[in-house]
Amino acid sequence: MDKETVSQLKKETALKNFRFNRFLLLRYLLAGFFFTNLYWLLSLAMSKSMWSLLPLGLIVLSVPAIAEHLRLYGYPSDDVRNQLKWHRLYQITQTITNIVLMVSVLTNLGFEQVFPFFTNNVTSKGFVSCILLVGILLSGVILKRINSIYSQKDKHATYITEFSKLNN
């Protein structure tokens, strides 16, 4: 290979990596939600609770979102408006689920059924409330990031634009 071909390959790889790194936070938080729901599913399954269908549903809904991220590595465009629809749907569903669970914890309606592995006391409810609140906040961060990616206002879009200008 000559220097020009190697240089062109480096530029293409750098651009591909810029585009891929744009979704880094989204991928890591999606994995975090996946494994949190998996742990919750296993805990409910060991308790032989019918509520295990709730985390199972969230896990099933996260699979198309995970597949979207796998496809995005080779995606040749910066316009990804239609590429994160499953991830967006998953995060909205996760947020709504966490809000409903928060209401359940605060009103004591179904706490023992949804979280049978915790004792029904203030400490357990405080711990679960903190976990749910963090989940709500992280989902909000993800939804905000998806919207900024859709509108091309994220910092990686700026990097991609600058890099493309400098290398064309």
Looking at residue 22, what is its pLDDT?
76
| Residue 141 confidence (pLDDT) | 94
**DSSP string computed for 111-150:** HHHH-TTS-SSHHHHHHHHHHHHHHHHHHHHHHHHHHHHH
Q: What is the DSSP code (8-state) at residue 76?
A: -
Of 132, 121, 123, the residue nearest 54 (C-alpha): 132
Per-residue pLDDT, 160:
64
pTM over 0.95? The answer is no
Tokens read off for 161? 């634009």
Q: What is the pLDDT along the chain (168 residues), one digit of tens a residue?
A: 677 777 777 777 766 777 677 788 899 999 999 999 999 999 999 999 999 999 999 999 999 999 988 887 666 555 666 778 999 999 999 999 999 999 999 999 989 999 999 999 999 999 999 999 999 999 999 999 888 887 777 766 666 666 666 666
